[in-house]
Amino acid sequence: MARSSDRGGPVAYRQVRGSLGPRREFKITLGLRAGYGPGGRIYDLEEAVRAAHRWMIGRARRDQTFLTGMFTRGEVLYARSSMLSDREPVAIFSGEALPVTARKLEDAKIESMLDELAAEMARTLEQEEVHIAYRDRTWTLRRVKPA
Domain positions in the chain are 28-88+106-142
The amino acid present at 97, given as its one-letter code, is A
Give the mean pLDDT per block of 10 residues along the chain (147 residues).
65 91 95 84 96 96 94 87 72 93 90 97 96 98 89
- pLDDT, residue 92, reads 98
- Burial code (b: 16+ CB inside 10 Å, e: under 16) for 11-46 equals eeeeeeeeeeeeebebbbbbbbbeeeeeebeebebe
- pLDDT, residue 10, reads 86
pTM of the prediction? 0.85
